[in-house]
Structure 1
Amino acid sequence: MTTLHLSDFDAITFDVYGTLIDWEPSIAAFLLDWAAGHGISADAGTLVMAFDGARARIQKERPAHLYPEVLNRCFDEICAHFGVLPDAERRRQFSLSPHTWPAFPDSHDGLVRLQQSVRIGALSNIDVASLESSCRILDVRFDVVVTAQRVGAYKPDWPHFDTGIGDLARLGVPRERILHVGQSLRADITPANKLGLRSVWINRPDRLLGLSGEGAAEARPDLTVSSLAELVDMLTR
């Protein structure tokens, strides 16, 4: 197993949703409630993967949509897949759901511990307003923030990484001193590999989003852990 030490890095960048914010159960609960209201018998895994596939396709469209519109379009695709007409109020609720997604229990403490020694950054497939809500939930202020809204693209495209690397360079952090951490093999680990960034995969138990699709099978993290708390303990050991 690869050994990484906190002293090897001056900055750690993070994917946010799935890595620090536990979005998947909230998405599953929303879609299960919607499905039950329409007599659809699909289980949580089926609904989550329907969302994942729609999300990956919609995020490739250019010009890029703001994330609330991505969620609107995902909802429309899921409705069409199951032969249901979209309900405007449900659609609106889904687009606003990022503002209420909870943090993983270890996120705040882990980020605070790391920020005592290194810069921390957020590279997130989200809009600015939604991320601001999540930062309040995390009770953390990142040193560098790169959103899909800012760069006009979604990971696994490279603008997030190129912009984050540039922001950190202006803070005196060279790219070889950056560690990228994410739960998504597709959107985080594979592009980090291609850009020569060292990376950690947080393989959160019982989570599905971001683990399949284009490029996921190619992902080769330098280290795999099951939680941020485990990573922080390993880095600071």
Structure 2
Amino acid sequence: MLDLTAYSALSFDVYGTLIDWEAGIAAVLSAWAKKQGSDLDDEALLLAYADHEAAVEAEYPSLAYPEVLQAAFRRTAKTLNLPINDADVQALGRSVPQWPAFADSAEALQRLKQHYKLIILSNVHEEGVAGSIQHLQVDFDQINTAQAIGSYKPSARNFQFLLERITDLEVEKAQLLHVAQSLFHDHVPAKAVDLDTIWINRRHDKPGWGATPDPKAEVTPDLAFPSLAAFADAVDAAFAPVNS
């Protein structure tokens, strides 16, 4: 059993873990699909979209995230054989700061902040993360974005960057716990560099992978929770004084 008191810092994926990126993306895709007369539901649209975003990020690691979204949207439209225009793709590209936080994120982060330093390792640009932090209502101790790193998760480069930067916070690798929803983007590469991980399984009550590609690799997070609040509950219990 993982000793949650043995860590001094948590690194977070933001989108899918703290921010409901599926709701944000689906809102734009759904409005577009309905305009084209399509009856595809959100899950079908996210499934069509997921692999395209990952492919664009892998092919163009230095491309700004709004442009990644736009390119992935165009590829999705082609896959679905539906028309799309510049206004459609630009709507998705500029939508990131408006994507909603999960209902439990802000309160759970405030509790976790009492026990750990909080670090961001995000696949999004600086402006997008800045907008999202306003929804999360907590001060992060360090912010690492794909824009600053020059590549996107699941690239090993992003996790090496994280491990180098945590030394600025006087945190050692053994003291860092990575918290994320995506097995594909986070748990597979985090385990490849021997990080302990917490799976916030936001899709525990939904079939399939949604906007996240199939990891296509065996990976076992150290602990799994259905929500960030449930993880914060476990942390509070672990740090609670033992009654004598």
- TM-score strictly above 0.5: yes
Q: Which SS does the other structure have where 2:94 is aligned?
A: helix
Deviations 1:37-95 (A, max 9, x none): 11223222111011111011001014421100001101111111122332111111110
Aligned residue for 2:223? 223
Specify which of 84, 90, 93 is matched with residue 92 of structure 1: 90
Q: Distance in 1 between matches of 2:227 and 2:123?
A: 20
Secondary structure in 2 aligned to 1:65?
coil
Q: Which moved more, 1:185-194 or 1:112-121?
A: 112-121
Q: Once structures 1 and 2 are overlaid, which stretch shifts more, 96-105 or 157-166?
A: 157-166
CA distance in 2, matches of 1:44, 1:183: 19
Report the residue type matching 1:101 in the other structure. W
Aligned equivalent of 1:24, options 18, 22, 27: 22
Query: 1:107 corresponds to which residue?
Result: 105
2:129 maps to which residue?
Answer: 131
Looking at structure 2, the residues matched to 182 and 53 of structure 1 have their Cα atoms a distance apart, in angstroms, of 19
Separation in structure 1 between the aligned mates of residue 36 and residue 100 of structure 2, nearest angstrom: 27
One-letter amino acid matched to 1:4: D
User: For each residue in 1:103-146, what CA deviation from the matched residue of structure 2 results, as whole angstroms up to 9, or x when unmatched?
Assistant: 11111111111122211101000000000000111122211111
Tell me the residue number matched to 2:58. Answer: 60
Amino acid at match of 1:35: A
Separation in 2, partners of 1:230, 1:96: 32
Equivalents in 2 of 1:54, 1:184: separation in Å? 16
CA distance in 1, matches of 2:89, 2:63: 16
Counterpart AA for 2:124:
I
Shift of 1:13: 0.4
What's the Cα RMSD here? 1.6
Q: CA 1:105–1:220 in 2, change beyond 3 Å: closer, same or farther? A: same
Of 202-211 and 112-121, deviating more is: 202-211
1:82 maps onto 2:80 in alignment? yes
Q: Quote the sequence identity (%).
A: 36
- Determine if contact 2:125/2:145 at 8 Å carries over to the other structure: yes
Match of 2:70 in 1: 72
Residue in 2 aligned with 1:9? 7
Structure 2 counterparts to residues 150-229 of structure 1, below 5 A: 150-205=148-203, 206=205, 208-209=209-210, 212-213=213-214, 215-229=215-229
Aligned in 2, Cα 1:197/1:99: closer, same or farther, shift over 3 Å?
same
Per the TM alignment, residue 26 of structure 1 is displaced from its structure 2 partner at its CA by: 2.6
Q: Deviations over 1:184-227 (max 9, x none)?
A: 000111111111000011101346346543x4441210001000
Q: Structure 2 CA distance, aligned partners of 1:155 and 1:63?
A: 9
Runs (5+) with no aligned partner, structure 1: none
- 2:118 maps to 120
Decide whether the 8 Å contact of 1:15 with 1:182 is kept in 2: yes
> Where does the alignment leave 5 or more consecutive residues of structure 2 unmatched?
238-244
Between the aligned partners of 1:204 and 1:63, the Cα distance in structure 2 is 26
Task: Return closer, same or farther for 1:35/1:187 CA change in 2, 3 Å cut-off.
Answer: same
* CA–CA separation in structure 2 for the residues paired with 1:56 and 1:34: 21
- 1:236 CA drift (Å): 2.1
